[in-house]
Structure 1
């Protein structure tokens, strides 16, 4: 049985067996009352009730714990399981007609409480799960409280703790949040594809589970639940990277990658539409194969060996897909990362406004919303060092004479589009301007050269006799403010930002 009082959405449901596992650990290790643990036998004064909740919530945040607990039915000090007659779901406070649950709405802040009633060792136990404060202090009647060991007091009496709490409230990242809580060692190893971590790094899988758990702890993929070493939380980082199935994690299923293949060059008819369920790291090799198998390809002979050549260079997919995953804004709800395949292009979409201008992705150092995710994807050799991935993409596009990479921002998303080869006559005026600018950036930034009419003719596969049409493209691109002549020679060009 449970009851939730909602002013946010951070409680992750725990099964009875998970709560029992925590109780087993607390009692067997004789974990005393603390900043995040309180034991009671029956209901206590309603004013103290509110102060306890505020104090425990703020203390959990201060200690980097995800939640605090009040247990009714456990004797403090003796750890005897005595049970309780406390019934929070129909309890009236101090002889009044005011019910406990509505009274709790006096609490403010971005949090969600959950009462649970369980049977433990033949006794009724009530548990109140109290999420750690997030973004703002948890207050009772406008006052924030804190625990000093097992004592409850106002936060204002401890300015150093208040400053530290505020620092912690604003610095938690999505990656540090919990995707699943109170899991056993077996649960963790069943839910996460830990073997892929060792495979990516060309390391042998340890022969014992303890070493694997230690690795997951060190990499931030899991955390300990309280001081009970045998109970773990799986972080969003751990699930996003190594989930065998993201559907197993509440709140992350809509972060799985959606792959759509269309008939033609528009979205009128989908040939296939499905969601790839695996984590971004462990599933990446399979994801890449799924996408490649949907692309146009042909058999060619290279050095006498028959091989498949895909319409798009593989390096483009290897860089743009992880890039989209790393830079997505996880706080935007209802938007999956998408890979859409058309007859003439691939579009890769991630949620979030771009943090740098879309026409400066080559020369400006990328800013990542998700540093831990980026670090791990690089460590596992799935993506390149910061900023070098887009270099490789543009290099492949240049060498394969493909249209320009188009990166645009629409509807709080970033869309990267890669096009199949187009002849001069198939290119629009906008296509030609984009290609001219990108070619100029490529030469200046990667080759330390300047663009000329001749270099652009070669890029467009236009004959020398048609230099006038290339001059018009250069003129149009200059009018858009994307390129400029060098100081030494007006017929040599560099990007506007150079």
Structure 2
């Protein structure tokens, strides 16, 4: 059985992953939420029905079942799986869909289940440019009147990121993160300098996050502090031993806003990927197994363009001995081929409000160039081009690497961030956070939205101190109870740069 990332069939409150569940569905006969098909030779008609389910309250299609409810199964091949994935991609807009393969004991056949949960704020859905509706057990083309009604509901103010949350208050947002985004936008020339002096509500209104005194979901995703109402603001991090998922070395789950999750992802890479270096003039330049910029761009794409409307979704990062995989819920834009993806294309953000704020705060460097940046960075250090995949329900990028060298004729060493004498992205980050202030560890971590003290010390603070960018207020007593940190002249010069 292969399962796509969505595991819960919410509209029917079941998980379709075993033969007993299939038998229960078959016993209910065909309805406005269940349809049987003998084989995927009827895939086109089945996808029209799936589209109709999406325009209703969700539903399930079972292949390998006769219209009388007899389980017969069908032979399963890689070609069949590819055809299903390609068919799912023809549904517009992106839909969360679960595909399961349930083997029939003592045979070579399987039942194929395709399930769509209710996704009312994304309706109307269409398949091959045409919308369908389900009435009882009959699928038909949707009337123009119903289509127009659903289309108006799906207009910008009804998109998930635009929906207001009456329980979300400005005090639930991280003010330091908001002002950090503003400072980034001013530095990059994407926001006027006067923005820094404006009141918080005014800034949120200009970011299109506050309307009529009410915050929308995008505000929580971007700047939230607590996420018990937003379980989808989740980052899964795993370091596996070897090249399979058989054994964990490290496994983490982190909830947070986009800025904190991006920081956590990059810290995880620096923790588990090796560094190798070359001498560039008078300085030793460090490079991860996979270029920092390529990994960062992959994470930004995953966090920015993913589908947020499903509470159980997340972004996943898996590090193996030979590759890194970054996965998110979502899909490529309709008719977007790999060739178009790699040759340059217009940006079509899944979440326009979120993407716009990330662009203004200079996290998104440009529109529609992220793929090319990842490819060029990998080529620069001599590792394979990243691979981009989608199965109609999730998107993932794969970076391949070797553990020996990264584009240089030198030996790679395990990461020991506190021993690096050069300016790394982590050092740059802590220098920018301290700025012209005298701060404690706790205060710096709060500004940087970091929670893991050990990771902060070894990935940020110690390298900055040993590189001569940051100094201690009480250098002779490093563990002084009132210890604070400030920039050296070297650190101030780096800050100017």
Structure of higher CA gyration radius: 1
Q: Larger strand proportion, structure 1 or 2?
A: 1
Task: Provide the TM-score with structure 2 as the length reference.
Answer: 0.45
TM-score normalised to structure 1 length = 0.45
